[in-house]
Structure 1
Amino acid sequence: MKRRLFLTAIPAALAAGCGFKLRRLEGIPFATLYVDAPAGAVVAQRIRNILSNDKSIRLTGTAGEAEAVLHLDQEVRSKTILSLSGAGRVTEYRLGLKLTYSVSGSEGRVWAAAETIELIRDMTYDDAQVLAKGAEEQLLYRDMEDNAALRILRRMQGITFGKGS
């Protein structure tokens, strides 16, 4: 029993000793942010959730109170048939998420020009597993939304005042 505990502790000790840290959101160059997004925008909610845990940046209720404004256009989800079986049944779908965003100062000066993020995931499909495939589809969309939120936040880290990124 002691040997098993020892063997499981070795990787943890090696990871702790090498200076490994999870990636953090350090370096966003402004203290306050307003997220301007259409109602129901999931990526905007994911960004708010991530930033609510960050002590270095405060989300504001209006654009006038914020140093920077993140503008998100409407998110567009897509689902297209990728392939069919010989019997004409769907065997694969292609899921997509597309959104455009930009970052500006509260005075209207553009710090990050409009950029479009388009994410695609392919998913196999089986009529016999409708519930499981529905859950997989939702998981893939959630993954794309998280990925888009993190891309936007990483781009915001690269913003320098007075210049677009």
Structure 2
Amino acid sequence: MNRRLFLAAMPALLAAGCGFQLRRMVEVPFASLYIDAPHGGAVAQRIRSSLAASKQTRLAASAAEAEAVLVLGQETRSKIILSLSGAGRVTEYRLGLQLTYSIKDKDGRALAADETIELTRDITYDDAQVLAKGAEEQLLYRDMDDSAARRIVRRLQSIGPAS
């Protein structure tokens, strides 16, 4: 009986001892934030939804009412042929997402240096599975959008409000 209890409790003890923590709510050190992004940007949409759940940071309607302004550039997606078969058919693509952003205070002074995020994912391709590969491509782009949004939010968390 004691051995079963020990074996059952061991994974919990190991997880607690390694510093594992569940993902927490987003806590950005600004009372209000304005997101200046091109219309329809998927990364901006994901940042807004993650910050909307935060009780600490309010999304401002204009840059004048915000303590900080997140300026997102145009999201550029790419799809490059990575490899061809012996018959000249595409067997792999490299998908890419490039996005530039900056963080400024309401007076326009930079709180952090401009940064460019470049993400890539490789995908195999088969002419016999066009619909499945199209869905996989959309899933990979969505994953890159989520990854870029998380990186930007972590960058926001790492800087403090302007003094």
Q: In which range does the TM-score fall when normalised by the shorter chain? A: 0.7 to 0.9
C-alpha RMSD of matched pairs (Å): 2.4
Separation in 1, partners of 2:67, 2:162 = 13
Identity of aligned residues (%): 69
Residues 81, 94 of structure 2: 8 Å contact kept: yes
Separation in 2, partners of 1:30, 1:56 = 8
* Secondary structure of residue in 2 paired with 1:22: coil
* Secondary structure of residue in 1 paired with 2:91: strand
Determine the structure 2 residue equivalent to 1:80: 80
Determine the structure 2 residue equivalent to 1:54: 54
Determine the structure 1 residue equivalent to 2:125: 125
**How far 1:14 sits from its partner (Å)?**
6.2
- Pairing 1:23-102 to 2, within 5 Å after superposition: 23-24=23-24, 28-102=28-102
* Secondary structure of residue in 2 paired with 1:96: strand
Determine the structure 1 residue equivalent to 2:160: 160
Determine the structure 1 residue equivalent to 2:21: 21
Query: For residues 136-161 of structure 1, what are the alpha-carbon distances to aligned partners after superposition, in whole Å with 9 as ceiling and x for unaligned?
Result: 10010001000000101111111134
Determine the structure 2 residue equivalent to 1:103: 103
**How far 1:54 sits from its partner (Å)?**
1.2
Query: For residues 28-62 of structure 1, what are the alpha-carbon distances to aligned partners after superposition, in whole Å with 9 as ceiling and x for unaligned?
Result: 22110000001111100000011111111111111
Separation in 2, partners of 1:11, 1:138 = 36
Unaligned runs of 5+ in 1: 1-6
* Secondary structure of residue in 2 paired with 1:99: strand
TM-score where L is the length of structure 2: 0.87
Residues 34, 61 of structure 2: 8 Å contact kept: yes
Separation in 2, partners of 1:88, 1:20 = 48
Unaligned runs of 5+ in 2: 1-6
